Amino acid sequence: MRIGFLATLLAWLGFAGLVHAQPLALGNRVSIPEPSPPSNYVDLGRPRPLKEPTKPSEQLSVCSHTQTVTDTESKSCSWLPACCKELCMPEKTVCGPEGRVWASAEYLLWWFEGNHVPPLVTTSPAASSGILGAPGTTVLFGDRSVEDEAHSGGRFTLGFWLNECQTIGVEAGYLFLGSHSTEFTAGGSGLPGSPVIARPIVNGITGAETAELVSFPGAAAGNIHLLSSSRLEGTGISGVANICCECCYRVDVLAGFQYLELREGLGASEFIALSPSVPTIGGSTLAVADQFDTRNEFYGGQLGARAEYRWGRIFVNTTGSIALGSNHEIIDIHGSTIITPAGGARTTVPGGILALPTNSGQFSRDRFAIVPQVGLNIGYQVTPHVRAFVGYGLLYVNSVVRPAALIDRTVNLTQVPSNQGPGTLLGPARPALVLRDTEFWAQGVNFGVEVRY
């Protein structure tokens, strides 16, 4: 009875279509495939790993551009905004020009602030004897600025980024503007009709204008030569740190040490042959020299900033800095007179005309100084490692000593050397040592090439 019931149940299930397996011979097992679960079915007995939700991509949004940063890129330097990559160079991994080491060389064509020189050489009719203010007297040299012509020089820079992202580095530089000279020569034969050549001075006892004669018709034949020279050089080293880098520009700050040296000189030398008719020393020859030299040595700390903007291969950069420190001023004033009497022995006596015992010697002092500098360049990226540029630069020093400012035209004639030896000072100690500070600037154009690796 039980067997008949089971047979009847299986037949009814097969008829209903709920079992699709094919029956095997009696005594064999029936294999029924596992039915597929519905779509909303969850198998609680066999947990399946859930799929991680998609992580939203990190984005940098600058200049209305966005850039996706992957895990790999975030470990390097690919924090650049997308606009830098699109407008500048593809596959760029640092901010700014490529290369951890850079070196540049520039040619400088700069002008100095003129060194104002008092009247030093005059000419006139014989009746006026070259005295300033007398009828017909004109200034041949002085009463104007010298050393304001162009100076040629160079500037060299070497730098190195300390990290791969090019945000911390060191930079050193050297600048020089070569020695430039201004020369003047004038003379007369001493014959009737020849011009009067004189050195105008103020009598230290009377306070009146007078002159020392270099050439005078019938009395002296001579010439005078003046030479003014100047030279500037400097060096420095600074740390560089990036503070901003967006789109195609970057801004760096600089801090370090600055040294500058300004050397200048102004000298006058004359040679005079006296007529035998001149009382006391007639027939003698005189060689008279005055020399005024200065050296300014600045030592100070420097702070500055530099910004660069790039558009494709074209770039513009500007630099500004200010240095505060001490300017060590060194002054050297000396003169000499060589007298050779007719048929006699040569005698050398200290002192000239404007450099006499009352103001001669070596002196030094220190002054607080401020040295700002600015520069602007525009250039072109020639290759990935080389670029060329042209620009403008300005350097300013608020306090320096210069040779022309040391000259005191007031002379106590009692101490002027003669064939008897050095003069004995009677009355005011003139010329006096005049320590007068003035400002100084140098500015001009530059042409350069920079290499980066």
More confident: 278 or 359 = 359
> pLDDT tens for residues 138-152?
999 999 988 888 999
**Cβ atoms of residues 261 and 221 within 8 Å:** no
Residues in the chain: 453
> pLDDT tens for residues 104-132?
999 999 999 988 999 999 999 999 999 99
For residue 103, is pLDDT > 80?
yes
The whole-number average pLDDT for the span 186-213 is 92
For residue 65, is pLDDT > 50?
no
Burial of 352 (0-12, 13-18, 19+ CB in 10 A): buried
More confident: 336 or 96 = 336
Where does the pLDDT of residue 86 fall: very low under 50, low under 70, confident under 90, or very high at 90 and above? Answer: very low
**Cβ atoms of residues 138 and 123 within 8 Å:** yes
> pLDDT tens for residues 48-63?
454 444 444 333 333 3
Burial of 264 (0-12, 13-18, 19+ CB in 10 A): buried
Cis peptide before 431 (omega within 30 of 0): yes
**Cβ atoms of residues 285 and 214 within 8 Å:** no
3-class SS of residue 83: helix
Q: What pLDDT, on the 0 to 100 scale, is given for residue 3?
A: 39
Q: What pLDDT, on the 0 to 100 scale, is given for residue 94?
A: 64
Q: What pLDDT, on the 0 to 100 scale, is given for residue 37?
A: 52
In angstroms, the Cα distances linking 405 to 301, 388, 402, 436 are 28, 41, 6, 6
Q: Report the distance separating Cα 285 and Cα 221, nearest Å.
A: 10
**Biggest alpha carbon distance in the chain?**
176
**Cβ atoms of residues 223 and 187 within 8 Å:** yes
**Cβ atoms of residues 199 and 214 within 8 Å:** yes
Rounded percentage of the chain residues whose pLDDT exceeds 70:
79
Domains identified in the chain and CATH numbers:
58-93 (no CATH), 97-115+149-184+228-452 (2.40.128.90)
Q: What pLDDT, on the 0 to 100 scale, is given for residue 79?
A: 45
Where does the pLDDT of residue 80 fall: very low under 50, low under 70, confident under 90, or very high at 90 and above? Answer: very low
> pLDDT tens for residues 241-278?
999 887 688 999 999 999 999 999 999 999 999 998 88
Which residues does residue 317 pair with via DSSP β-bridges, in sequence order? 308, 377
The pTM for the full model equals 0.78
Half-sphere exposure of 23 (CA within 13 A, CB side): 9
Q: What pLDDT, on the 0 to 100 scale, is given for residue 419?
A: 79
Q: Report the distance separating Cα 386 and Cα 449, nearest Å.
A: 7
